[in-house]
Amino acid sequence: MATLVDNQGWPEIAIEEIADVNPRVDKASIPDDLPVSFVPMPAVGAADGTIHVEETRPASKVKKGFTAFLEGDVLFAKITPCMENGKMAVVPALVNGYGFGSTEFHVLRPKPGMDAKYLYYYVSSQSFRREAERHMTGAVGQRRVPTTYLKECKIPVAPLDQQKRIVAEIEKQFSRLDEAVANLKRVKANLKRYKAAVLKAAVSGRLVETEAELARREGRSYETGGQLLQRILETRRSQWKGKGKYKEPAAPDTTDLPELPEGWVWASLDELSDVVRGGSPRPAGDPRYFGGPVPWITVGPLTADESDYLHRVPEGLTFEGKERSRYIEPDTLLLTNSGATLGVPKISLIGGCINDGVAALLGVGYPLKRYLVNFLRTKTMTLRRINQGAAQPNLNTSIIKAMIVPLPPEAEQHQIVAEVDLRLSLLRETEAQVDANFRRAERMRQSILSRAFSGELINESTFLYTTAAASAI
């Protein structure tokens, strides 16, 4: 039944009265060899109304098992998380006039007197999606918006001429927002490039004045990177408590490496640290080993954010599980070595057990530990391109050990770490402001839609136009 919206007198009408929901298409009339547009779920943008219809398939391949639609229909993703993410769009011109796509789309075909874009903007609004989410049914991960619920949802229906004015005003204001958001994205990209440039400069001797230059100007001697490396090796040798005879770490082959700044030296991670890999208690999920108080450090917590430190983890092992894993002390440098997010370095501020997707670089002190975090961040993408033929990206400890590090004097490391921290701190503040503006833009977008369907948007537009005209007179 239709009800009235107080402020405009617009009736609120069930969607099934103003649009055909999941209408049938006469598939038998479509020649089997006719190319038609094919729209999988990824072809529809999230909360931006974009849709790509360039992909084609023979009609015979999509008549069965796919959702059919026509130009001017509104596609509405019904499954989680696509619905919550706003995968909705108005269908543009299609190849030969027909489209087929994911069975996870509801199709809304506006009836006469209903503007497709008006309907799209209403059902794609955040408030509509949030309410639809509350009415989803099905198992976790497979929850969907029921057809019955969608049919019964009510929409404030303005007269057609006002619908078109509302759509035009929405798109005018969205266009301004889109320009602002595009500028924010450019700023975000520039900040990302700046961060990469800072880290690259830090590990190539171009971020701060080198210790060699400072010592020469001040007329003093200094410990070079080579002397530091020898000190590290002697300390590791003297403190060896492992099984069997101490094995000297492998020195890197520097034949084809570029020249380093004065006072720097090439070193392998094998020389600078004791690289070990974690281990998972077996069988996985055994209640004897999991669900206890010992922090369980996996790839997930290490890649949850872009900070350099790990503060907490959501899971734990029992003390029996601890004996079947590898425990690391607080303040240990870790590196993810498995999955799509491998190559992420982080210093764990907590002690805990690491699983087999994580490597630990033991025996590294300050400031080298912080310097290595900066260095490893410059190598993340390089590490991810390494393919060992496994089902998923994976780094064994031999690859990590063989990584070659440009090692500056320890005094210079202190200066590099301090300068990187300062610059990235300022960068994070700017990023936070940009992210706040992204959120503000989204709030403004939803506010525009809210005002549009209460009639306020075209009233504001009319008022501004009348005022401007009166001023001109």
**Mean pLDDT, consecutive 10-residue segments, the chain of 473 residues?**
54 97 94 97 96 97 96 97 97 97 98 98 97 94 95 97 96 96 97 97 97 97 97 93 86 93 97 94 88 95 92 94 95 93 95 95 96 96 73 82 97 98 96 96 95 87 40 38
Beta bridge partners of 394: 338
Cα dihedral 236, 308, 378, 358 sign: positive
3-state secondary structure of 362: strand
Return the structure tokens found at 109: 């075909």
- Interatomic CA distance for residues 401 and 361, integer angstroms: 9
Domain with CATH 1.10.287 in the chain: 158-222+409-473
- Interatomic CA distance for residues 73 and 189, integer angstroms: 35
Strand 35-39 to 99-101 pairing: parallel
- Interatomic CA distance for residues 164 and 473, integer angstroms: 28
Total residues belonging to the chain: 473
- Interatomic CA distance for residues 239 and 127, integer angstroms: 63
Could you give the C-alpha distances from 75 to 10, 144, 263, 470, in angstroms and in order?
A: 25, 14, 63, 43
* pLDDT for res 340: 84
Identity of residue 90: V
Centre a 10 Å sphere on the Cβ of residue 172 and count the other Cβ atoms it contains. 12
Picking from 41, 62, 37, 59, the residue whose alpha carbon sits closest to that of residue 50 is: 41
* pLDDT for res 387: 57
- Interatomic CA distance for residues 90 and 39, integer angstroms: 12
Name the CATH architecture for the domain at 158-222+409-473. Answer: Orthogonal Bundle (1.10)
* pLDDT for res 459: 76
pLDDT tens for residues 15-59? 999 999 999 999 999 999 999 999 999 999 999 999 999 999 999
CA contacts within 13 A on the Cβ side of 118: 25
> Which CATH code of 1.10.3720.10, 3.40.190.10, 3.40.50.1980, 3.90.220.20 fits the domain covering 3-157?
3.90.220.20
Domain with CATH 3.90.220.20 in the chain: 3-157, 223-241+248-407
Superfamily of domain 223-241+248-407: DNA methylase specificity domains (3.90.220.20)
| DSSP string computed for 138-197 | SSTT--B--HHHHHH-EEE---HHHHHHHHHHHHHHHHHHHHHHHHHHHHHHHHHHHHHH
- Interatomic CA distance for residues 151 and 78, integer angstroms: 13
* pLDDT for res 245: 87
Identity of residue 150: L
Contact assessment for residue 147 and residue 10, using Cβ atoms and an 8 Å cutoff: no
Residue given tokens 């998380």 in the structure block: 81
Contact assessment for residue 73 and residue 93, using Cβ atoms and an 8 Å cutoff: no
